[in-house]
Structure 1
Amino acid sequence: MGEPAVEPIPGAPAATLDLGEERGLAVADYHAGIEVGLRYERGVELDSNADERRRRLLSLLDRTNADRVVVLGDLVHRIAEPDGVEAEEVRDLLDALDSRGVPLTLATGNHDGGVADVFPDRIDLLPTDGGRIDDVGLAHGHTWPGAEALSASTLCIGHEHPSVRLTDEVGGSRVERAWLRGSLRREPFLEALGDDGDELVWNDPELVVFPAFNDRSGGTWINVEGESFLSPFLPEALADGEAYLTDGTRLGSYRSV
């Protein structure tokens, strides 16, 4: 047996990907410039964490010796063409990756509408319904993945920012980012694809929902009753999802954590 297609990195909201001839470093929901967004959206004043975000990613790149960085959507935060400090943060990241000869692939997310216009020819962009590199499907998850992404044996998405709320024996609680993994059910996708579903190649894919790389972006509490998922195909398309903490702790079924 070879290495798993997706291998979470212990202690980090990131994973390595087996992309055939390349080794990928994948993260989701980078949300460059989030501090500016929080200031306008919620009146929250935070110092920029841009340099630390870039250092964390570059440290993981050095640690994994990856050939490519893959961002599973929402490279930027504001739903508009990035400018100002937001664009500067992305430019600094791309410059650092260029200096290492490492390309960046972005699965277009709901926050990434203007990225291609501001950074033409600097990012390998996948469409909003995702794509595939070797046997790994890549999408953001805010829309239904297309047939190409679904034809892979593993589908990686972001968007959800999965988190779990953990309660101790004395009633204290904490929230931690988490991975969500499980088998996909075919039926919801066939219904969503309509006539295109007749030609859907289905390899019983595993779904891997990445935790948010940005630790200021909040998330979906996947084990709290009444919390709704953000992705249109969750949880209906998830057959047997299990949750894992970023340190590798297996929590079992996310429904009963």
Structure 2
Amino acid sequence: MGEPAVEPVPGAPAATLDLGDERALAVADYHAGIEVGLRYERGVELDSNAEKRRRRLLSLLDRTGADRVVVLGDLVHRIAEPDDADAEEVRELLAALDARSVPLTLATGNHDGGVADVFPDRIELLPSEGARVGSIGLVHGHTWPNAEALSASTLCMGHEHPSVRLTDEVGGSRVERAWLRGPLRREPFLDALGDDADELAWNDPELVVFPAFNDRSGGTWINVEGESFLAPFLPEALASGEAYLTDGTRLGPYREV
């Protein structure tokens, strides 16, 4: 048997993807320049982690030997056109990838509206509704995926930043980022696709929801009562998914963690 189409990197919020003729390192929600955003949005003053984020990604690239980097949306934090800190962080990341001759593909997220204008030639942009590369669908997750992305055997997305709060026997708690994986239900997408629903090639895909790469970006609490999901098709489209920690620990059905 060959490698799985999507293989999480142990201990990291990242996975390798089998794209057919390439092997990619995939992450979601990089949020370059987040510290500036937190300052304006919440009044939180934090030193920049830009260099640390870049080193982490490059270390994973070297560790996996991937041919390409795929970001599943929200490469930058600023929703408007990238400026100052976020643009500079992306420039330095791209320069480091150029030095390794590694291209970057971005599944356009809700924070990436200005990326095409600032980096018109260096980043391969996929539409916000997603795309299929080989047997894998790539989408950020803030909009309904298109029929092309849904025709894949595995659909990868970000946007949700899934997290769990774990408590121990003495009442202590910790927060962990998590993966969500499970069969994707077809029914929620039929109305959203409209006329395209009749042409939907359905290959019983697995949905893989990536944890956020940026550890300062918050997340959706999958095991906190009353917490709502961000993606318009969740949780309905993932009725029987399971949660995993980044170290590979299986937590069981994600709605029961």
Query: Is TM more than 0.5 here?
Result: yes
Aligned-residue CA RMSD in angstroms?
A: 0.6
Aligned to 2:89: 89
Q: In 2, distance between residues paired with 1:239 and 1:201?
A: 21
Aligned to 1:212: 212
Cα displacement (A) at 1:239: 2.8
SS in 2 for 1:112: coil
Q: Does 1:231 align with 2:240?
A: no
- 1:148-182 per-residue CA deviation (whole Å, 9 max, x = no partner) reads 11000000000000001111111111110000001
Aligned to 2:20: 20
What is the aligned length? 257
Q: Does 1:145 align with 2:151?
A: no
Aligned to 2:43: 43
Aligned to 1:201: 201
Q: In 1, distance between residues paired with 2:60 and 2:122?
A: 21
Q: Which runs of 5+ in 2 are unaligned?
A: none
Aligned to 1:72: 72
Q: In 1, distance between residues paired with 2:178 and 2:104?
A: 24
Cα displacement (A) at 1:66: 0.2
Q: State the 4+ residue runs in structure 1 displaced beyond 3 angstroms.
A: none
Q: In 1, distance between residues paired with 2:256 and 2:238?
A: 15
Specify the code of the residue in structure 1 equivalent to 2:144. W
Map residues 90-169 of structure 1 onto 2, 5 A cutoff.
Answer: 90-169=90-169
Specify the code of the residue in structure 1 equivalent to 2:67. D
SS in 2 for 1:255: coil
Aligned to 1:9: 9
Specify the code of the residue in structure 2 equivalent to 1:103. P
Q: In 1, distance between residues paired with 2:2 and 2:191?
A: 34
Q: In 1, distance between residues paired with 2:92 and 2:73?
A: 18
Specify the code of the residue in structure 2 equivalent to 1:34. I
Aligned to 2:222: 222
- 1:199-227 per-residue CA deviation (whole Å, 9 max, x = no partner) reads 00100000000000000000001011110
Cα displacement (A) at 1:34: 0.1
Q: In 1, distance between residues paired with 2:169 and 2:158?
A: 32
Deviates more, 1:211-220 or 1:188-197: 188-197
Specify the code of the residue in structure 2 equivalent to 1:61. L
Q: In 2, distance between residues paired with 1:2 and 1:61?
A: 21
Aligned to 2:252: 252
- Give me the identity figure in percent: 88
Q: In 2, distance between residues paired with 1:21 and 1:221?
A: 36
TM-score, normalised by the number of residues in structure 1: 0.99
Aligned to 2:61: 61
Q: In 1, distance between residues paired with 2:175 and 2:149?
A: 31
Q: In 1, distance between residues paired with 2:60 and 2:33?
A: 20
Q: In 2, distance between residues paired with 1:70 and 1:79?
A: 20
